[in-house]
Amino acid sequence: MNKIALISVFYFVFIWSSLDLLKATDEIEASQSSPKISSFLEDNFQYDSDLSDLSGLQLSEIESLEDSDPSVVSANLSKNSFYLELAEALSTNKKITVLNLRECNLDDECGVPLFKMTWLTGLDISQNKLSSKSVGLFTTLQNLTVLICAGNPLGNTLPKALSDHTKLTYLDASSCSLDDTCIDDLIALKSLRKLILKGNKFTGSGQKKLVNAGDNRSLEIIF
């Protein structure tokens, strides 16, 4: 092989290797710029044990509730725009036991995966777009101690869906389109210690019935 041919071979090998290297580099950069959602959740969300970011609920209140656990891990993701894929990825993260999704533009479709998080002990889904279509899904979250679902038009079937939640001690169902029809179902939630019902459609007599029931078993009710 003459000198010119040898140089040509080396040049061809060099160019081919360079192209492979550039291709590999591009693939690495692409994978870094578009990580899997689950990995992003795992690596980038900050976890802590401070529950005070749950819709104004104070840590001292949580500590006084039955079955509260000061070691719970919370994630405050409030005021983000959620989409279905992100909700699905989040729903598999068992590190999170307290979840704040206040004002996240959640609708009934995005809510479905989140109700698979049966290990949750605290959940704030207030000020979203969940409707009565989602109420039946609440039956899966039986480990909840705290539920804040204010500002969703969930309707009168909500209390019935929570009837088996024996650990639930704090419920904020303000502005959830509740009325006197569901009073007996609310009273039947025996584990409750604090119930917030602002902005609903209870009559004066309905409120009185609830207050009397609360007085008989140390249940604080706020209208």
77-133 tens-digit pLDDT: 778 777 787 788 778 777 778 888 888 889 999 899 999 999 998 888 999 999 999
Residues 6+ apart with CB under 8 A from 134: 108, 111, 112, 115, 152, 154
Please write the tens of the pLDDT for every residue from 25-47: 343 334 333 344 344 334 433 43
End-to-end CA distance of the chain: 94
State pTM to two decimals: 0.70
At the topology level of CATH, where does 36-222 sit? 3.80.10
How many CB atoms are closer than 10 A to CB 49? 13
Domain boundaries in the chain? 1-34, 36-222
**Block residue for tokens 């509740």:** 178
pLDDT in tens, 128-155: 999 999 999 999 999 998 899 999 999 9
